[in-house]
């Protein structure tokens, strides 16, 4: 018979290993969900978003919010959208740029999936008054950049991509940074990191990094000040 402590350790080991083997999602399902997300933001109609789980958790700038009265439920004229699809973590990230002079926004949204449905949405919303906010300038940069898929034989591993972002953020050395949330897309060589800058009550922040051949190519940041 196993000693109770051994049984406990064994169980712990099994639980620790489980996510490695089960957290795999179909890219097509993730892509359909990000397309629905963009369509929902365009129309402001949550009912368009059939990929949503019934009890989806929704936050804006890391605060719980009611999805039915959220920014997502507000029709916006989107100038640019770009998404990452993480088939290992079952997660996505979408950047939207809205230059409408009536109210410009740049938003970054991470979505998490359970049983192929969107079970959690975290949206970071920047607008006038936020750090270096300039939607028109952001659009110009985004349009001049090349975010094409990286040729298959030149792709970095998730570990290399993630380490590139971590090194830039200096996460290992900064005790004030909250546990970050990652979305990694190897086909794009890109990682997006959501974190609180400056500890638990710090600023909601998104940092997105594209690496090419292990080297940093682009950095997109969103930091909410107001």
Interface residue list for ligand NAG (CB under 6 A)? 38, 42, 66-68, 78, 81
Sequence-distant (≥ 6) Cβ neighbours of residue 88 within 8 angstroms: 23, 24, 158, 184
Query: Among residues 64 and 129, whose Cβ is nearest to ligand NAG?
Result: 64
Q: What order do you get walking across the sheet with 52-60 strand by strand?
A: 63-64, 52-60, 117-126, 105-114, 91-98, 80-86
Least Cα distance to 108 among 80, 89, 129, 87 occurs for 80
DSSP states along 96-135: EEE--TTS-EEEEEEEEEETTEEEEEEEEEE-TTSTT--H
Query: Among residues 115 and 148, whose Cβ is nearest to ligand NAG?
Result: 148
Smallest separation (angstroms) from ligand NAG to the CB of 192: 16
Token pair of 160 as six digits? 């290399």
Determine the Cα–Cα distance for residues 130 and 136; give it in Å rounded to an integer: 14
Smallest separation (angstroms) from ligand NAG to the CB of 205: 24
- DSSP-assigned beta bridge partners for residue 120: 57, 112
Smallest separation (angstroms) from ligand NAG to the CB of 196: 24
Query: Among residues 84 and 203, whose Cβ is nearest to ligand NAG?
Result: 84
Query: Among residues 66 and 115, whose Cβ is nearest to ligand NAG?
Result: 66
Task: Give start and end residues of each alpha helix (H) in the chain.
Answer: 4-22, 27-43, 135-144, 158-169
Query: Among residues 63 and 201, whose Cβ is nearest to ligand NAG?
Result: 63
Smallest separation (angstroms) from ligand NAG to the CB of 223: 24
Q: How far apart are the first and last CA of the chain?
A: 60
Smallest separation (angstroms) from ligand NAG to the CB of 58: 7
Token pair of 21 as six digits? 């083997």
Query: Among residues 35 and 171, whose Cβ is nearest to ligand NAG?
Result: 35
């Amino acid at each position: 018979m196993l000693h109770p402590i051994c049984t406990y350790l064994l169980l712990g080991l099994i639980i620790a290993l489980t996510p490695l083997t089960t957290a795999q999602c179909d890219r097509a399902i993730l892509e359909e969900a990000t397309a629905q997300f963009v369509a929902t933001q365009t129309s402001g109609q949550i009912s368009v978003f059939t990929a949503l789980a019934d009890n989806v958790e929704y936050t804006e700038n890391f605060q719980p919010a009611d999805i039915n009265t959220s920014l997502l439920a507000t029709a916006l004229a989107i100038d640019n959208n770009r998404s990452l699809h993480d088939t290992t973590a079952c997660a996505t990230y979408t950047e939207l740029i809205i230059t409408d002079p009536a109210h410009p926004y740049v938003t970054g949204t991470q979505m998490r999936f359970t049983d192929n449905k969107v079970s959690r949405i975290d949206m970071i919303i920047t607008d006038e008054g936020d750090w270096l906010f300039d939607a028109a300038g952001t659009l110009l940069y985004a349009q001049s950049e090349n975010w094409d898929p990286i040729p298959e034989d030149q792709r970095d591993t998730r570990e290399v991509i993630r380490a590139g972002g971590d090194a830039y953020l200096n996460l290992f050395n900064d005790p004030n940074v909250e546990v970050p949330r990652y979305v990694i897309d190897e086909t794009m060589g890109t990682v997006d990191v959501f974190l609180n800058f400056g500890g638990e009550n710090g600023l909601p922040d998104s940092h997105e990094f594209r690496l090419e051949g292990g080297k940093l190519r682009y950095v997109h940041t969103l930091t909410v000040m107001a």
